[in-house]
Amino acid sequence: MKKSEILTCFQCGTCTGSCPSGRYTSLNVRRIIKDSIQKDISDELELWMCTTCYNCQERCPRGIKITDEILKLRSIAVKKGKVLPAHRAVCRYLIETGHAIPIDEMHISIREQIGLAEPETVHKYKKALNDVKTLLKSTGFDELIKE
C-alpha cells in the first residue's frame, strides 16, 4: 500500500470499533494507523495483539489495507530484531522440529495408547525435516530470529 493511501485515513474509528482484539487488549488500531504515519512504531507491543481477522480492513470506508499494513509493520519490527520471547520460542521450535507447536512426549504416548500412528508430518518423515531446515536457512529465517 502506498503511504498516500494511509494518509486518506480520517480517523473515523470504524477499525477500532470492529476490532475484536481491541475489546480485550490495549490494541487501538486507529491509533496504530495514525502513529505509523508519523513515527517508527516497531517497539509497540500492540502490533502483536492483532489476530489478523481482517474485520478492520473489510470495513474501512477509505479502503485502507489496515491488516496488511500491520503485517508490514511487524516485518519491519522483526528485521530490526524486535521479536517477542514467546514468538522467538515458536520460531525456534519451527527450525528444530518443523512444527511451530511440536507434538510432545505425553501426546506421543497418548496416541500410542489409542492406536494412532505417528502423524504424517515431519515428525514421521525425518528427511522432510532436513528440507524444512534447508528452506528456513536459505531464506535467512534462522538468522532473523537469533537473539
Per CB under 6 A, 29 contacts ligand SF4: yes
Using CB under 6 A, which of 41, 66, 73, 77 touches ligand SF4?
66
> 85-97 and 126-138 helices cross at what angle (nearest 10)?
130
Cα separation, 51 vs 36, whole angstroms: 18
- Choose the binding region for ligand SF4 from 21-29, 82-90, 120-128, 130-138 (rule: CB under 6 A): 21-29
- Dihedral sign, Cα of residue 30, residue 35, residue 38, residue 43: negative
User: What is the Cα Rg of the chain in Å?
Assistant: 20
Q: Which stretch binds ligand SF4 (CB under 6 A): 55-63, 107-115, 118-126, 133-141?
A: 55-63
Q: Total binding residues for ligand SF4 by CB under 6 A?
A: 28
The only residue of 36, 41, 55, 129 in contact with ligand SF4, by rule CB under 6 A: 55
Q: Cell numbers for 46, please give them.
A: 500492540
